[in-house]
């Protein structure tokens, strides 16, 4: 049914064009925020008023400057050792972005490939890959991380790799599910009759259809990885000082919720903002890439 | 069709959830609830070395000799004792003491209970009892403990972890594994049920030899999360909560439901120094500079909100034969530290030291390292910090003697004796292997103290040994940790300084 | 179909063996359980004695083979941490607590995400969608221990509606379930919304609408069926992540389940208990995924399992 294919593609490119021209306001906000974080991360040493690791022993647990007890010079207050919150937040963006993006990139690369291949080829290969996926899910992540620590010592990049790569299974499964559905559609058979190579079919037809849920999950994953890092810190693993991470700040701050709420509130807000921006961007990307969305 | 499927799934899930909303009724009894951060690993008295676990066990088992609220040794299951020779001590046992199963405690039980850690090498407590050669049964209520050579701290040994008296007949019948989940002792409380990592339910033992406890039930809860434990305390869910974080102290005191009390511990935080050849700390001037750079008082005030006591040796109140002059003192002279560094050939920022330590093993351990780093920076020493999760730290750095420059550790003293605090610094033993400090003179002093029975003489010998160790600066001592314990306003209790939670002494108020 | 199911079950065996091998190696490489048992005061002699007593001084291959031999015979080993108690017993007695917690979390997540996802897809671009999205973001952005502590602070200590911790009280499962299920609810909401929007925009849906079929019926019959595929996939996957998240939730609420046990067992390198938990978790995950795959075929008959 070549007709339908032509019509679909036709509609696709028209709507893609239309969408590009129409920048949704939320997406702009999201991109703005993300850009701000990226700038913050890159220019951290110039933006931060203090060294994030230097405690001010005389100004511990100072509230933000607009509250009673606030200390001039520490805009957002200080933590339990007297370190400036604002500086720590700025530097923390580095790890957050690193962990989030590279982790997801890693997971995406592996997961999408495995899902596409597994779903399209099917049969024994599919069964085997899904078996691998299922079994990997059962091993506790903390165990993997602890071992890496023991064998290789402290390493941020190893943490990113482990966290990210553990999560490829979600992508693989979702992609595979989409592929299974799409496989049955007529235009795949049509492509085959024309003599199109499977790889080309995969990329031209399957991939765009798969983009929607993938993007949603990917944006969610970035936030999830940042929070995962926080949980690892909570459990006592995770990145150790003196590296500053929002996750560690959140975890350390939980003991002070009733007495010094700003220790945990600000990193929490940062994580929320970043997640928000990623979601807005993710939505816009989905609309842009999905040839079936309404203009 | 799919809506139906959805609804059906929903109903199934709801049905799964419903039974879990049922709850058993709880009867009205006089109940005391205690909460700590960890649970016991079992009730085998010889299978652990943890003070917090012993704090639970001490309600179930009694020792021959027990410490009172002031830390003094008092008769317990032994009514009296006398040294009959250099290597033998006779104990007259109390009569009419009953175990939880109604049987009477006799000398056979004491022999059985003490000889296991003494003879069985596979038992964790063995190294604390290996001086005991034999427990001789004289008659049903008298034993003589024979030791391998003079043992001046035998009384310390039979009043601590691992010396709880258990019924031989019961253990012979069920075996140690079963005993570890269903113990029988002579203590004021008997274990009724143990839900792991949740709670231990104990009931008052009416025939306890001191008299029936005032509580019908004692519940020990495990609440690992600090803020949750505090929450339970101030909402009245538990009556006693240990290890209240210092920042919650005011909150608890202001709650009107509970109050906090300081609870000194035996644990001392220390920095082990690698002074072996090749390390910059092999130079005694550098070591002295490090000690002088650290303001112990400021460290305590900053990291621990003032809770703790600076020390220059592993001495805390309540230990026998320790020179107390090293307690509540420290050396701080940053200018002199800079001078010493210069003498040793290090100008400002020319020396870099690595501080290694565990993360989350001791209260505020990472923060301690960070503040020490800042203090070293202030005298021109650059620092890097390596904080590792405890099991990694233990297996990669601590146990393989792999300290680079400075390593943080905390040591308690379960024998509550000065010998135990320093004996491992002898040549070829653990501390010496880590720091590289070895002195034959020191070894001789320590070994002599192990066999000197006269307490005064012994204290003098140990004081000399302590001085040598402290002066070597192979270990830089930081502080004695102090915990905070939260106690409900509905009960009256003065916590004892030995980290025990002996609930017999707790009385309801009014 | 039956053949497929049987084949999947048979496939579990080599997977389980592979897992035990990986876990064994990881645990052995990453730390010494004897050292952890003895603490700071361990002497080398003690360490050697205990190592021998527990059979840990034998070559690692031999240890693994001994372990596998016992396992096949049904013996899951004894716990190092819990004074020789059988590992299977230790693990099984903690399972119900986590099952309750996970069950409640899943229930809450589905109960929130189904209506929220549908509403935000139908009312796309209008107020209800923005509201649902806002809460969804919040649920995703908050780490579950943070949410748990906040919930305790507000609802348990502040308002006194729920107990602070433990599982004694009949309503004790609500707060931890909410803390655990919130982020899953967020993910599912957005996923459902996105899948529904996609489907709703497809040609044949538009055709159906053009023919005059009511939106509700269109939604129910065509949209949901296709959207449910991704929805179910994620639920199936999240079965495992719920158990992982339970670790943190159980810590905060002092909920005595598998999560707490797992962390402590890993920290003390208690091989038998860790292996038992992993095997159990693997079986649960694989069974859940099998169920999800079977449901795929039920929902979309076009998907065949050969």
State the CATH number of the domain containing residue A219: 1.10.3720.10
Q: Which residue of C has its CA nearest to B410?
A: C40
Half-sphere exposure of A160 (CA within 13 A, CB side): 18
pLDDT at residue B22, rounded to an integer: 46
Task: Give kind and range of the element (H or E) at residue C265.
Answer: helix C258-267
How far is B108 from B487, CA to CA, in rounded Å? 39
Cβ <8 Å between B227 and A257: yes
Cβ <8 Å between B228 and C165: yes
Q: Which residue of C has its CA nearest to A183?
A: C303
pLDDT at residue C220, rounded to an integer: 64
Residues of chain A in Cβ contact (below 8 Å) with chain B: 53-55, 57, 60-61, 80-82, 146, 149-150, 153-154, 236-237, 240-242, 254-260
Most confident by average pLDDT, B374-383, C89-98, C277-286: B374-383
Q: Does pLDDT of A6 surpass 50?
A: no
C161 against B64, higher pLDDT: B64
A54, A236, A255: residue with CB nearest B226: A255
Cβ <8 Å between B359 and A259: no
Distances in whole angstroms, Cα of residue B468 to Cα of each of B115, B245, B463, B473, C117: 36, 36, 9, 9, 73
Q: Does pLDDT of C171 surpass 60?
A: yes
Q: What is the mean pLDDT of residues C121-142?
A: 77
- Residue pair B341/B380 in contact by the 8 Å Cβ criterion: yes
C36, C90, C254: residue with CB nearest B394: C36
The set of chains that have 3 or more CB pairs under 8 A with A is B, C
Read off the pLDDT band of B271 (50, 70, 90): very high
Number of CB atoms found within 10 A of residue B253's CB: 13
Most confident by average pLDDT, A48-52, B150-154, B465-469: B465-469
Residue among B392, B396, B402 with most chain A CBs within 10 A, to mutate: B392
Q: Does pLDDT of A186 surpass 80?
A: no
Cβ <8 Å between C29 and A147: yes
Q: What is the mean pLDDT of residues A11-15?
A: 42
How far is A275 from A62, CA to CA, in rounded Å? 28
Q: Does pLDDT of C77 surpass 70?
A: yes
> Which residues of A are less than 8 Å from C247 in CB distance?
142, 235
Instruction: Say what percent of chain C tops pLDDT 70.
Output: 89
Q: Look at chain A and report how many structural domains it folds into.
A: 1
Residue among B225, B231, B232, B247 with most chain A CBs within 10 A, to mutate: B247
| Residue range of the domain that includes A118 | 24-37+88-289
C40, C43, C110: residue with CB nearest B127: C43
Q: What is the mean pLDDT of residues C269-274?
A: 83
Per-residue pLDDT tens for B218-251? 999 999 888 889 989 998 999 999 999 888 898 8
Closest Cα in chain C, distance from residue A210 (Å): 11
Domain presence at residue A11: no
pLDDT at residue A160, rounded to an integer: 74
How far is B70 from C144, CA to CA, in rounded Å? 44
Give the helix, strand, coil percentages of chain B, each rounded to 5: 35, 25, 40
> Which residues of C are less than 8 Å from A144 in CB distance?
26
Domain presence at residue A241: yes
pLDDT at residue A3, rounded to an integer: 34
Provide the token pair at B51. Answer: 């003070």
Provide the token pair at B351. Answer: 């020396």
Cβ <8 Å between B410 and C85: no
DSSP letter at B359?
E
Q: Does pLDDT of A11 surpass 50?
A: no
Domain presence at residue A17: no
Cβ <8 Å between B366 and A241: yes
B197, B199, B227: residue with CB nearest C149: B227
- Mean per-residue pLDDT of chain B: 90
Q: Which residue of C has its CA nearest to A275?
A: C141
Q: Which residue of B has its CA nearest to C160?
A: B235
Read off the pLDDT band of B8 (50, 70, 90): low
Q: Does pLDDT of A145 surpass 80?
A: no
How far is C88 from C97, CA to CA, in rounded Å? 15
Domain presence at residue A51: no
A258, A272, A290: residue with CB nearest C153: A258
Closest Cα in chain A, distance from residue C46 (Å): 23
Provide the token pair at C153. Answer: 């602070």
Using DSSP, state whether A131 is helix, strand or coil: helix
Contacts of C58 (CB under 8 A, 6+ apart): C66
B287 against C143, higher pLDDT: B287
Q: What is the mean pLDDT of residues B279-299?
A: 94
Domain presence at residue A243: yes
C123 against A244, higher pLDDT: A244
Q: What is the mean pLDDT of residues B265-289?
A: 94
Cβ <8 Å between C226 and A181: yes
Read off the pLDDT band of B175 (50, 70, 90): very high
Q: Does pLDDT of C298 surpass 60?
A: yes
Read off the pLDDT band of B115 (50, 70, 90): very high
Cβ <8 Å between A123 and C306: yes
Q: Does pLDDT of C229 surpass 80?
A: no
> Which residues of C are less than 8 Å from B14 in CB distance?
107
Contacts of C258 (CB under 8 A, 6+ apart): C91, C94, C95, C97, C98, C243, C246, C277, C280, C281
pLDDT at residue C239, rounded to an integer: 66
Name which of B113-127, B182-196, C150-164, C198-212 the model is least confident about.
C198-212
Count helices and strands in chain A by DSSP H and E runs: 14, 0
Per-residue pLDDT tens for B410-440? 998 888 899 989 999 999 888 999 999 999 9
Half-sphere exposure of A222 (CA within 13 A, CB side): 27
B303/A contact by beta carbon, under 8 A: yes
> Which residues of C are less than 8 Å from B10 in CB distance?
110-111
Q: Does pLDDT of C146 surpass 80?
A: no
Q: How many residues does chain A have?
A: 295
- Mean per-residue pLDDT of chain C: 79
Cβ <8 Å between A138 and C303: no
Provide the token pair at B472. Answer: 């070597």
Residue among A57, A82, A84, A142 with most chain B CBs within 10 A, to mutate: A57
Name which of A210-224, B139-153, B330-344, B369-383 the model is least confident about.
A210-224
Domain presence at residue A18: no
Pairs of CB atoms within 8 A across B/C: 171
Q: Which residue of B has its CA nearest to A146?
A: B392
Cβ <8 Å between B42 and C168: no
pLDDT at residue C216, rounded to an integer: 64
Cβ <8 Å between B388 and A240: yes
Per-residue pLDDT tens for A199-212? 666 667 677 777 77
pLDDT at residue C284, rounded to an integer: 78
Q: Does pLDDT of A25 surpass 80?
A: no
Q: Which residue of A has its CA nearest to C226?
A: A181
Q: Does pLDDT of A17 surpass 60?
A: no
- Residue pair A93/A43 in contact by the 8 Å Cβ criterion: no
Closest Cα in chain B, distance from residue C119 (Å): 16
Give the helix, strand, coil percentages of chain C, each rounded to 5: 75, 0, 20
Read off the pLDDT band of B502 (50, 70, 90): very high
pLDDT at residue B479, rounded to an integer: 96
B5, B13, B394: residue with CB nearest C35: B394
Residue among B1, B9, B20 with most chain C CBs within 10 A, to mutate: B20
Q: What is the mean pLDDT of residues A259-282?
A: 81
Per-residue pLDDT tens for B156-168? 999 999 999 999 9
Q: Does pLDDT of A216 surpass 90?
A: no
The set of chains that have 3 or more CB pairs under 8 A with C is A, B
Q: Does pLDDT of B147 surpass 70?
A: yes
Per-residue pLDDT tens for B53-111? 999 999 999 999 998 887 788 999 999 999 999 899 999 999 999 999 999 999 999 99
- Mean per-residue pLDDT of chain A: 74
Domain presence at residue A213: yes
Cβ <8 Å between B394 and C90: no
Interface predicted TM-score of the whole assembly (ipTM), two decimals:
0.74
Domain presence at residue A206: yes
pLDDT at residue A4, rounded to an integer: 34
B251, B302, B359: residue with CB nearest A240: B359
Cβ <8 Å between A292 and C198: yes
| pTM, two decimal places | 0.80
Long-range pairs for A42-47 at CB < 8 Å and ≥24 separation? A44/A90, A44/A91, A44/A93, A44/A94, A47/A90
Q: Which region holds residue B269: left if phi is over 0, alpha if psi is between -120 and 50, else beta?
A: beta
Render A221-239 in DSSP notation, one character per residue: HHHHHHHHHHHHHHHT-SS
Read off the pLDDT band of A295 (50, 70, 90): very low
Cis peptide before A242 (omega within 30 of 0): yes
pLDDT at residue A16, rounded to an integer: 45
> Which residues of C are less than 8 Å from B223 in CB distance?
165-166, 254
Cβ <8 Å between C224 and B3: yes
């Amino acid at each position: 049914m070549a007709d339908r294919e032509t019509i679909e593609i036709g509609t696709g490119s028209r709507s893609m064009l239309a969408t590009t021209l129409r920048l949704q306001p939320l997406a702009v906000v999201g991109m703005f925020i993300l850009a701000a974080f990226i700038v913050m991360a890159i220019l951290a040493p110039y933006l931060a008023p203090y060294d994030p690791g230097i405690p001010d022993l005389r100004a511990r647990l100072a509230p933000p400057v607009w509250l009673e007890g606030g200390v001039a010079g520490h805009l957002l207050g200080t933590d339990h050792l007297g370190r400036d919150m604002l500086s720590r937040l700025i530097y923390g963006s580095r790890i957050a972005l690193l962990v989030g993006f590279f982790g997801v990139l890693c997971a995406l690369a592996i997961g999408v490939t495995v899902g596409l291949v597994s779903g399209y080829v099917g049969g024994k290969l599919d069964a085997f890959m899904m078996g691998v996926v299922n079994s990997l899910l059962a091993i506790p992540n903390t165990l993997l991380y602890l071992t890496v620590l023991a064998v290789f010592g402290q390493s941020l990049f190893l943490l990113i790799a482990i966290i990210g790569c553990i999560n490829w299974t979600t992508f693989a499964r979702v992609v595979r599910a989409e592929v299974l559905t799409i496989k049955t559609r007529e235009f795949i058979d049509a492509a085959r009759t024309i003599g199109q190579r499977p790889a080309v079919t995969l990329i031209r037809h399957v991939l765009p259809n798969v983009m929607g849920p993938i993007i949603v999950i990917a944006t969610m994953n970035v936030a999830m990885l940042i929070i995962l890092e926080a949980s690892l810190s909570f459990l006592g693993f995770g990145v150790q000082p003196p590296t500053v991470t929002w996750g560690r700040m959140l975890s350390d701050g939980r003991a002070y919720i009733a007495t010094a709420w700003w220790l945990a509130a600000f990193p929490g807000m940062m994580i929320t903002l970043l997640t928000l921006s990623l979601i807005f961007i993710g939505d816009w990307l989905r609309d842009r890439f999905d040839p079936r969305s309404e203009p | 069709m799919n809506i139906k499927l959805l609804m059906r799934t929903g109903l199934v899930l709801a049905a799964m959830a419903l039974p879990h909303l049922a709850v058993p009724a709880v009867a009205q009894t006089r109940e005391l609830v205690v909460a700590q951060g960890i649970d016991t690993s079992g009730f085998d008295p010889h299978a652990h070395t943890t003070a917090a676990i012993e704090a639970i066990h001490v309600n179930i088992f009694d020792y021959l000799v027990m410490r009172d609220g002031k830390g003094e040794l008092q008769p317990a299951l032994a009514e009296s004792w006398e040294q009959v020779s250099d290597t033998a001590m006779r104990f007259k046992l109390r009569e009419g003491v009953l175990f939880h199963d109604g049987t009477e405690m006799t000398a056979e039980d004491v022999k059985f209970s003490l000889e296991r850690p003494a003879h069985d090498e596979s038992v964790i407590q063995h190294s604390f009892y290996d001086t005991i050669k034999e427990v001789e049964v004289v008659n049903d209520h008298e034993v003589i403990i024979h030791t391998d050579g003079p043992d001046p701290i035998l009384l310390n040994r039979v009043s601590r972890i691992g010396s709880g008296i258990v019924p031989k007949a019961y253990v012979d019948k069920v075996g140690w594994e079963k005993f570890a989940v269903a113990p029988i002792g002579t203590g004021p409380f008997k274990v009724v049920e143990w839900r792991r990592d949740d709670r231990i339910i104990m009931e008052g033992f009416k025939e306890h030899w001191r008299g029936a406890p005032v509580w019908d039930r004692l519940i020990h809860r495990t609440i690992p999360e600090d803020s949750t434990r505090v929450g339970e305390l101030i909402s009245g869910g538990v009556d006693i909560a240990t290890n209240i974080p210092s920042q919650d102290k005011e909150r608890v005191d202001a709650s009107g439901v509970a109050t906090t009390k300081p609870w000194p511990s035996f644990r001392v935080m220390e920095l082990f120094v690698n002074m072996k050849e090749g390390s910059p700390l092999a130079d005694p001037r550098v070591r002295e500079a490090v000690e002088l750079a650290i303001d112990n008082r400021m460290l305590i005030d900053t990291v621990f909100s003032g809770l703790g006591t600076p020390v220059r040796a592993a001495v805390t109140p309540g230990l026998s034969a320790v020179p107390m002059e090293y307690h509540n003192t420290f050396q701080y002279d940053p200018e002199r530290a800079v001078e010493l560094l210069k003498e040793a050939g290090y100008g400002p920022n020319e020396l870099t030291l690595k501080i290694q330590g565990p993360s989350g093993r001791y209260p505020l351990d990472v923060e301690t390292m960070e503040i020490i780093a800042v203090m070293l920076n202030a005298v021109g020493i650059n620092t890097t910090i390596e904080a590792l999760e405890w099991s990694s730290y233990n297996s990669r750095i601590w146990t393989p003697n792999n300290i680079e420059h400075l390593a943080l550790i905390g040591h308690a003293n379960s024998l509550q004796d000065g010998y135990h605090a320093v004996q491992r610094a002898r040549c070829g033993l653990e501390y010496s292997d880590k720091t590289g400090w070895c002195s034959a003179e020191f070894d001789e002093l320590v070994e002599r103290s192990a066999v000197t029975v006269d307490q005064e003489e012994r204290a003098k010998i140990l004081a000399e040994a302590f001085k040598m160790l402290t002066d070597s600066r192979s270990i830089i001592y930081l502080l004695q940790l102090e915990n905070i314990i939260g106690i409900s306003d509905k009960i009256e209790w003065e916590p004892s300084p030995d980290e025990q939670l002996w609930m017999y002494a707790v009385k309801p108020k009014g | 179909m039956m053949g497929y199911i049987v084949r999947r079950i048979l496939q579990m065996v080599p997977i389980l063996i592979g897992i035990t091998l990986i876990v064994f190696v990881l645990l052995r490489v990453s730390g010494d359980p004897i050292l952890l048992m003895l603490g700071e005061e361990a002497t080398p002699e003690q360490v050697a004695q205990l190592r021998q007593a527990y059979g840990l001084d034998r070559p690692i291959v031999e240890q693994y083979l001994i372990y596998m031999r016992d396992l096949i015979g049904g013996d899951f080993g004894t716990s190092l941490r819990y004074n020789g108690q059988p590992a299977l017993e230790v693990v099984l007695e903690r399972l119900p607590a986590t099952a309750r917690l996970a069950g409640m979390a899943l229930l809450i997540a589905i109960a929130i995400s189904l209506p929220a996802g549908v509403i935000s897809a139908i009312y796309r671009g209008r107020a209800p969608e923005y509201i649902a999205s806002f809460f969804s973001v919040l649920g995703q952005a908050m780490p579950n221990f943070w949410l748990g502590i906040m919930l305790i602070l507000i609802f348990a200590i502040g308002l006194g509606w729920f107990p602070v911790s433990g599982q004694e009280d009949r309503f004790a499962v609500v707060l931890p379930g909410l803390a655990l299920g919130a982020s899953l609810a967020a993910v599912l909401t957005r996923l459902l919304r996105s899948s529904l929007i996609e489907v709703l925009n497809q040609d044949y849906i538009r055709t159906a609408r053009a023919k005059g079929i009511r939106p509700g019926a269109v939604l129910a019959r065509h949209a949901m069926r296709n959207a449910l595929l991704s929805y179910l996939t994620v639920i199936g996957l999240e079965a495992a992540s719920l158990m992982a998240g339970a670790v943190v939730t159980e810590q905060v609420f002092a909920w005595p389940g598998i999560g707490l046990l797992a962390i402590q067992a890993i920290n003390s390198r208690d091989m038998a208990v860790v292996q038992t938990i992993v095997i159990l978790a693997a079986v649960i995950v694989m069974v859940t995924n099998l169920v999800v795959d079977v449901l795929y075929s039920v929902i979309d008959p076009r998907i065949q399992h050969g």
